[in-house]
Amino acid sequence: MEKKPRSVKDKRYEEKHKAERKAKSLSWGTSVSRELAENINAFLKKYGYTKIELIEAGYKALLNDAGERNLSLGKILDKYDDFFGFESEKNKSE
């Protein structure tokens, strides 16, 4: 029996599991300037962070910033559930 090359096996595997991978994760396909990307990569390597940790930390920082700018969102993020009537109605419309 003829043994198939690894590339053929890999391609068949990828095709078979494509939907599963797409359902599990998302790729934004975005880009930044080379200089910024190199600076970020150097920082991550120097301090031992991954790109995923960078994204998660950035997201958390932006959530906190948004919560400071928007009182209703801040209360939700802080799990503060004692809203005034007008605040809970405002959240429903946002």
73-94: per-residue pLDDT in tens?
Answer: 777 777 666 555 665 555 555 5
User: What is the mean pLDDT of the segment spanning 40-58?
Assistant: 96
List the domain boundaries for the chain.
49-94
- Is the pLDDT confidence value at 49 over 60? yes
Q: In the structure encoding, which two tokens stand for residue 23, read together?
A: 């359902």
- Is the pLDDT confidence value at 45 over 90? yes
Query: What's the mean per-residue pLDDT of the chain?
Result: 81
Confidence at residue 83, expressed as pLDDT on a 0 to 100 scale: 56
Q: Which long-range contacts (CB under 8 A, 24 or more apart) does 1-8 make?
A: none
If one counts every other C-beta atom within 10 angstroms of the C-beta of residue 69, the result is 9
Confidence at residue 80, expressed as pLDDT on a 0 to 100 scale: 66
